[in-house]
Amino acid sequence: MAIIYEILKASWQIYLDSAIYMLFGFFVAGILYVFFKADKIKQYLGTGKIKSVILAALFGIPIPLCSCGVVPVATSLKKQGANDGAALSFMIATPESGVDSIAISWAMLDPIMTLLRPVAGFITAISTGIAQNFLGNDKTNIKPEPIKTAGG
């Protein structure tokens, strides 16, 4: 029973140590939400195979969305004209390097890892988005085949 108490005590201490960083991360996330409107972001992601991917990754880095919350946003970006690579780049960069996750990385890891984490996310997002734009299938030119019925 003493081991469970020690685990809970250590967990509570970690929460207390990281709370100020999380509050700062949420504060910055709120500022970003107020000043960067989604309509302006979406207009830059529809044209270009490389530029749109880089912009999507740059826009995605500070936005505080988790890996589950980024899927509807990326779908919305795609529906509003973003190309496949830009949507994919945004989907990778956002949960990897949001302001809130950077703040918690600073609290729990050292400054070098805090810096390397968003850089690695940015590089991964750009390379994946560019690969999608150049090597991915263009499904817009594929015509659907008619459905065959048993009688005809």
The reported pLDDT for the residue numbered 128 is 95
pTM: 0.65
> Which ranges constitute the DSSP H helices of 36-69?
38-42, 51-60
CA distance 44 to 152: 48
pLDDT, one tens digit for every residue, the chain (152 residues): 899 999 999 999 988 887 777 676 667 666 766 776 656 666 777 777 899 999 989 888 877 777 667 777 777 778 777 889 998 998 899 888 877 777 788 888 888 988 888 899 899 999 999 999 999 876 655 455 656 666 55
Q: Which residue has the tokens 């065959």?
A: 148
Q: What span, in angstroms and rounded, lies between the C-alpha atoms of 53 and 56?
A: 5
* CA 56 – CA 24 distance, rounded (Å): 24
